[in-house]
Structure 1
Amino acid sequence: MERQISMKLIPALLLGVFSGSAAASGFQLIEQGSGLGNAYAGSAAKANDASTIYFNPAGMTQLQAREASGGVAAVRPSFKFDDGGSRVGVFGATGDGSDAGSWAFPPNAYLSWALNKDLYVGLGINAPFGLSTQYDKPWKGSAQSDQFDIKTININPSIAYRVNEMVSLGGGVSWQKIEADYYRQVGIAPGLAGVRAHLNIDDSAWGWNLGALFTISPATKVGLSYRSTIQYHTSGTSKLQSDGTALATATARALILGGGASDVKANLEVPDTFVLSVTQKLSDRWDLLGDVSWTGWSSIKNIDINRTSGPQAGRVAQTIEADFQNTYRIALGANYLLSEAVTLQFGLAYDQTPVKNSSTRLASLPDNDRTWFTFGTQWKPAKQQKVDLGVAYLYIPNTKINNNQTTANPLTNRGTLTGDYDSSVWILGAQYSIAF
């Protein structure tokens, strides 16, 4: 029994480690290896270290016989709400919720191994999706979201084959686990003011990825990579909790002691991604990098949370109306060889949000288009070692929200949240790579 409990705890512990706040648009985490200093331009073409396993597994054929890479990104988003006439969904709710962002530290690790001069295998472990928003209480949007957390862990064994000196192909499979926690206040009536809803769901599923790397000339490389959608059939629980004051009313007591808790299920399909990358050596000191990527966020429309037990089994507990659209990202980067040991890195990127407009913007994800400004350096302390350090500032324009979730039922009335978000993101990244 103890061994079974320990084995069940392992995925939960890993999810705690491999969690983070989204720095790319939506709730995607692009901080999966070296490249922050270049805004991840050239990600599928450069193949500088073992983190190519995530960006383009075909790039392993450009590495030495055995290479390992690992690192961490420190991500600090900021989401500050300014009310513009909200009609609250919780009795007596006031305040703007302070800053809903917080620090997160998603790590990554990779190992590449040559079986012979043309055939390579590798393993990557990372967190491709993550989200964390938490508002201080009280605040006007608490009926729509108090706290929202998405955590993932992705384990990605890969293989690559050098067809000839110009073409390499690669692919892999991904075992991915997701867990989500969602908290919000319930009820516009005074007797329900202390009731809080907590939704927890999780699942694991499989996906796959493919890549190709073309060495057009010694100075030019082109990379293509694709990551599949992953379909989750999550299950979990939905519970109502009280701070004690709500139990003063018979309605609240019946709500919490009666149909307030149940098992639930929900289907979620995280998006696929296609990347086209180019690297071009301009001179002995300058390299130019470019990226165009597409993400199929339209796989996430309305997410129905369905009850599977209790008095309301078969009914929808809540629908999260995201209605996402597909997005693209464009990145440009440059490297300058300052010395044999030090390379300076520069980057600029535009990252489109999947949120269509203010009426579909969620308090749990007040996302908007992002412009990346990045700088970094690569230092080689020894011939077989590299350290990449980077910093990024993500400019996010004024973000409007006008999300109407008003209903006639006081138990499901979440009001209308109207106002503006002042948002930004800072990212610090460090990556260590070694060949052995």
Structure 2
Amino acid sequence: MKKLCALASLGLVSAPAFAGGLYLYETGGEDVGLANAGMAARAQDATTVVSNPAGMTRLDGDQLSTGIQVLSGNADYQLSDSAAVSGDSPGNVVQPFPSASLYYSHSVDDRLKVGFGFYGNYGLALHYGDWAAASLVKDVTLTALTFQPAVAYKLNEQWSLGAGLGINYGYFSLNRDTQNGEQKEKDYDWAANARVGLMFEPTQTTRFGLTYASAVEYNFDVKPDATLSYTFHPLPVGPGVTVTKDVMLPISGYVNTPQQVMASAYHALNPRWAIMGNLGWQDWSKYSDSTVALRGNEIAGDEKLQDTWHAAIGAQYQLSEKLRLNSGVAYDTSFYKSQSNASLTMPSGAAWRWGVGAQYQLDQQSSLGVSFEYLRMQGSTVQSPTVGGDFDANHLYFIAANYSRKL
């Protein structure tokens, strides 16, 4: 199969990060209600298998965590007046999408822990439908399934190390109209990535976490070019002329996911209040000068992309012996150097997240939680003579529920 650089993660039922450059930290766990603040340091349940494998050393015995999540929202694309194609715009390209996750941590002894996770926090699912350029793209989907075994070891009372191996199954599909009816291309591949974590606990109330995740490459055999017919009206406006043109679909960017680093901190102010935060980085600029091959067509990077940065802050409040409340806010920079030079299949931009949630202790062994998060993403403009237009500010909504149990 022809090479096409691809994403880093993963999903039991993968939640779509409907744009490249927007890494979804949401996997249905308690982190959703915190806008994922403190994700590499919190280590309060088995989801730490993925957020920071070293955090397993803080868990007693064997623990299981599961999560379910529904993502919905709006990313509205409208063709510009100067676009060569005329007709309907696709409108909202985001569809409701459910996902699920599962995590397990096992204590070999007081120092050595092993575990695994199935989770989904990256992918893509866009529905353009029967719009003016349906012969270019109607639906495009990129999802992945990952199984990540992990191990952690407590060096001493302050330091812990952890590592995991992501075994990723990726699936890509592209639907569009042709003269012979609707055409669907699909392909799949396996890939691997590594995740390593470090945790430092200077006191019983303060801890710091650091994680690194490597990039992943899939190989998909897809056809990026299509024949697009439209009516051209020369100036001064005269009789319409039908033009047939080969157009290259900009799909190289969203299938790349770079290496990334996340640093987190957690501090309990007192028995009721705790605060936490993140600082993160993703190496998106690597793909501005990369070249990928799609079914023999070499596509050079167009230098649109830049590295992205992430910051988050959150708080937990123990309202009662059984009920804990969560809230957080996060900000991610855009991977575009300019929002006025975006790609059709990558409606990405700087993003704000606001999360709220609650975790209820059912008994000594189990807890149940619910969370809601709102994500607002910066709009962007597609500079294309044929299908150019604008994405309005995008809005995503996450509704999640989780269950954790000590076995």
Both proteins in one fold, TM over 0.5: yes
User: Is the Cα–Cα contact under 8 Å of residues 197 and 238 in structure 1 kept in the other structure?
Assistant: no
User: Is the Cα–Cα contact under 8 Å of residues 132 and 149 in structure 1 kept in the other structure?
Assistant: yes
Give the aligned partner of residue 379 of structure 1. Answer: 360
* Structure 1 residues 428 and 205: alpha-carbon distance in aligned structure 2, compared to 1, 3 A threshold: same
Give the aligned partner of residue 429 of structure 1. Answer: 400
Return the alpha-carbon distance in structure 2 between the equivalents of residues 373 and 99 of structure 1. Answer: 22
User: Is the Cα–Cα contact under 8 Å of residues 48 and 56 in structure 2 kept in the other structure?
Assistant: yes
Question: 118-127 or 318-327: which moved more?
Answer: 318-327
User: Is the Cα–Cα contact under 8 Å of residues 341 and 380 in structure 2 kept in the other structure?
Assistant: no
Q: Which amino acid aligns with 2:61?
A: A
* Structure 1 residues 174 and 213: alpha-carbon distance in aligned structure 2, compared to 1, 3 A threshold: same
* Structure 1 residues 293 and 239: alpha-carbon distance in aligned structure 2, compared to 1, 3 A threshold: closer
1:276 correspondence with 2:253: no
Return the alpha-carbon distance in structure 1 between the equivalents of residues 397 and 253 of structure 2. Answer: 33
Aligned match for 1:103, one of 80, 85, 96: 96
Give the SS at the match of 2:382. Answer: strand
- 1:178 to partner: Cα distance: 1.3
Structure 1: any 5+ residue segments left out of the alignment?
1-14, 187-191, 243-251, 256-264, 308-313, 407-414
1:119 correspondence with 2:106: no
Aligned match for 2:122, one of 129, 134, 152: 129
Give the aligned partner of residue 29 of structure 1. Answer: 24
Q: Which amino acid aligns with 2:364?
A: K
Aligned match for 1:336, one of 317, 326, 333: 317
Return the alpha-carbon distance in structure 1 between the equivalents of residues 60 and 369 of structure 2. Answer: 18
Give the aligned partner of residue 311 of structure 1. Answer: none
Give the aligned partner of residue 20 of structure 1. Answer: 15
* Structure 1 residues 136 and 157: alpha-carbon distance in aligned structure 2, compared to 1, 3 A threshold: same
1:364 correspondence with 2:351: no
Return the alpha-carbon distance in structure 1 between the equivalents of residues 44 and 89 of structure 2. Answer: 45
Return the alpha-carbon distance in structure 2 between the equivalents of residues 38 and 182 of structure 1. Answer: 35
Q: Which amino acid aligns with 2:172?
A: A
Give the aligned partner of residue 326 of structure 1. Answer: 307
Q: Which amino acid aligns with 2:392?
A: Y
Return the alpha-carbon distance in structure 1 between the equivalents of residues 305 and 146 of structure 2. Answer: 23
Alignment of 1:177-188 (within 5 A): 177-184=169-176
- Where relative contact order (Cα < 8 A, 6+ residues apart) is larger, the structure is 2
Give the aligned partner of residue 214 of structure 2. Answer: 228
The CA deviation string for residues 359-406 of structure 1, in whole angstroms up to 9 with x for no partner, is 542222211111111110011011111112110111224x131322x5
- 1:129 to partner: Cα distance: 1.4
Give the SS at the match of 2:50. Answer: helix
Question: 273-282 or 348-357: which moved more?
Answer: 348-357
* Structure 1 residues 284 and 306: alpha-carbon distance in aligned structure 2, compared to 1, 3 A threshold: closer
Alignment of 1:211-360 (within 5 A): 211-235=197-221, 269-301=256-288, 304-307=292-295, 314-316=296-298, 323-360=304-341
The CA deviation string for residues 181-238 of structure 1, in whole angstroms up to 9 with x for no partner, is 223457xxxxx6x776644332211111110111111111000111111122333567
Identity %: 25
Give the SS at the match of 2:54. Answer: helix
* Structure 1 residues 206 and 68: alpha-carbon distance in aligned structure 2, compared to 1, 3 A threshold: same
User: Is the Cα–Cα contact under 8 Å of residues 119 and 159 in structure 1 kept in the other structure?
Assistant: yes
Return the alpha-carbon distance in structure 2 between the equivalents of residues 361 and 146 of structure 1. Answer: 19
Give the aligned partner of residue 193 of structure 2. Answer: 207
Give the aligned partner of residue 7 of structure 2. Answer: none
Q: Which amino acid aligns with 1:354?
A: F
User: Is the Cα–Cα contact under 8 Å of residues 20 and 105 in structure 1 kept in the other structure?
Assistant: yes
User: Is the Cα–Cα contact under 8 Å of residues 23 and 77 in structure 1 kept in the other structure?
Assistant: no
Give the SS at the match of 2:56. Answer: helix
Higher helix content, 1 or 2: 1
Return the alpha-carbon distance in structure 1 between the equivalents of residues 397 and 254 of structure 2. Answer: 32
TM-score normalized by structure 1? 0.78
Q: Which amino acid aligns with 2:81?
A: G
* Structure 1 residues 228 and 112: alpha-carbon distance in aligned structure 2, compared to 1, 3 A threshold: same
- 1:143 to partner: Cα distance: 5.7
Return the alpha-carbon distance in structure 2 between the equivalents of residues 218 and 23 of structure 1. Answer: 40
Give the aligned partner of residue 41 of structure 1. Answer: 37
Aligned match for 1:402, one of 379, 382, 400: 382
Return the alpha-carbon distance in structure 2 between the equivalents of residues 369 and 270 of structure 1. Answer: 17
Return the alpha-carbon distance in structure 1 between the equivalents of residues 186 and 62 of structure 2. Answer: 41
* Structure 1 residues 62 and 326: alpha-carbon distance in aligned structure 2, compared to 1, 3 A threshold: same
Return the alpha-carbon distance in structure 2 between the equivalents of residues 419 and 42 of structure 1. Answer: 35
Q: Which amino acid aligns with 1:432?
A: Y
- 1:146 to partner: Cα distance: 2.5
Give the aligned partner of residue 52 of structure 1. Answer: 48
User: Is the Cα–Cα contact under 8 Å of residues 129 and 139 in structure 2 kept in the other structure?
Assistant: no
The CA deviation string for residues 415-435 of structure 1, in whole angstroms up to 9 with x for no partner, is 141234242011111111100
Give the aligned partner of residue 76 of structure 1. Answer: 72
Return the alpha-carbon distance in structure 1 between the equivalents of residues 281 and 77 of structure 2. Answer: 29
User: Is the Cα–Cα contact under 8 Å of residues 87 and 131 in structure 2 kept in the other structure?
Assistant: yes
* Structure 1 residues 143 and 23: alpha-carbon distance in aligned structure 2, compared to 1, 3 A threshold: closer
* Structure 1 residues 382 and 36: alpha-carbon distance in aligned structure 2, compared to 1, 3 A threshold: same
* Structure 1 residues 142 and 323: alpha-carbon distance in aligned structure 2, compared to 1, 3 A threshold: farther
Give the SS at the match of 2:43. Answer: coil
Give the SS at the match of 2:334. Answer: coil
- 1:31 to partner: Cα distance: 1.4
Aligned match for 2:162, one of 170, 179, 183: 170
Aligned match for 1:67, one of 60, 63, 74: 63
Return the alpha-carbon distance in structure 2 between the equivalents of residues 266 and 294 of structure 1. Answer: 18
